[in-house]
Structures are given as structure tokens and as C-alpha cells.
Amino acid sequence: MSREIRLLLADDQALVRGALAALLSLEEDLTVVAETSSGQDVTDLIREHDVDVALLDIEMPGCDGIDAARAIRDSGSPCKSMVVTTFGRPGYLRRALDAGARGFVVKDTPAEQLAEAVRAVHSGRRVIDPSLAEESLISGSNPLTEREQEVLRAALDGHSVKELATRLCLSPGTVRNHLSSAIGKTHSGNRAEAALRARENGWL
């Protein structure tokens, strides 16, 4: 008999974690051995519990699922990561794959399909929600540079250009240039609209 697949669930919503744990534990070869509400704990828990596959939500406080996937990859751990999220946005898919995630599925995936996705990721295959894969191809890659993403993330809080410059250690002129470029790339009318559109597309 093959070894059970040991799972970690990272999601800041306890009810969601509990539901996923209950569903996955019905499978004879899947065992949930660790749970956490923050991406910050993921690599430590993987080592402590000998985790094979980490199922990561995207939006978590402190350290999101994409950062957690990157941390798993950079740690050299053999543990595979897959994103299981409510936010099925093409930009998130691209960022998750770039960070080392082997799978990307949405939370309303039927339990049997989710279990099969876990097995596939564990075996080394890549699993991507088909509709998201198609949408990602249509929408294309993230057009924003890392600095433009940084400026737009800061702009979401409604700071002035001067405040953004101070916060990011840039000159006001440089901040204006990055904002102008981001507004153009997102086909927006102003920086607030650009920031919201970029977030909706999963580019931030």
C-alpha cells in the first residue's frame, strides 16, 4: 500500500479550513496533519509535520498564499504547494505559478476533483482550473513592472504623491512617472481606478 499523502491547510477562515479538512479526510490516502491561518507559519509546519502537499489560500494576513508558495520553493523542501482560493483571477494564477505553486483551483471545486488535484500535484504534475487557464491566456501576462505594482499597492491606501514618495523612498517625480505608466497600462482614468483594476486582475 502506498504511503498516505500528508496535507497542510493554510486559510485564515476557520470554517473553510474545517470544511476542506473534513472533505479531504474522507479520502483513504489523504491525511490533514497541520492547519494554519497565516502563510508565515507554513514552512515551519511543513518541516515539523513532514507535509507532502500544502494547500494555500491567497488572501491571508501577514503572508499571503503566493508568498508562502515562494517560501516553500526557496526553502528547498520537497513539499509541493497548490493554491485553493475564492479569488480565481488570471493574474493570481500567473503569480502563483511563478512562485512555484504546482496547482491552482477554486474553492468550489467538487471534493472528488480536489482530491484528484492533490494526488496529481503530489505526483509531480501541474493542475490548473481549466476556465482560469483559458482566461489567463486571453488576458495575457501582468503588464506592470515590480515598481509600478509597489506604487499602486501603496496608492490603494489613498496616500498623496508626496506621502507615497516618502513611504517608498522615491522622489515625487518618480512616483508620478510610475503612476502615469500604470494608469496607461491598465487603461484607467486615474491612479485609484488603476490600483483597483490591477487588484481585480490579480496583478498586485
Q: What is the pLDDT of residues 44-101, one digit of tens each?
A: 999 999 999 999 999 888 889 999 999 999 999 999 999 998 876 767 888 888 899 9
- Domain C-terminal end among 139, 163, 181: 139
Write out the residue range of the structural domain in which residue 181 sits.
Answer: 146-200
pTM: 0.68
Burial class (CB in 10 A: 0-12, 13-18, 19+), 168: middle
Residues 165 and 79 in one domain: no
Q: Which residues contact 178 (CB under 8 A, 6 or more apart)?
A: 145, 147, 148, 151, 170
Per the structure, the count of domains in the chain is: 2
More confident of the two residues 131 and 151: 151
The DSSP bridge pattern shows strands 53-56 and 5-10 to be parallel
Average pLDDT value for residue range 19-25 = 92
Q: What percent of the chain has pLDDT over 90?
A: 47
Residues 13 and 103 in one domain: yes
What is d(CA 191, CA 144) in angstroms, rounded to the nearest whole number? 13
Residues 116 and 184 in one domain: no
Which CATH number goes with the domain that contains 180?
Answer: 1.10.10.10
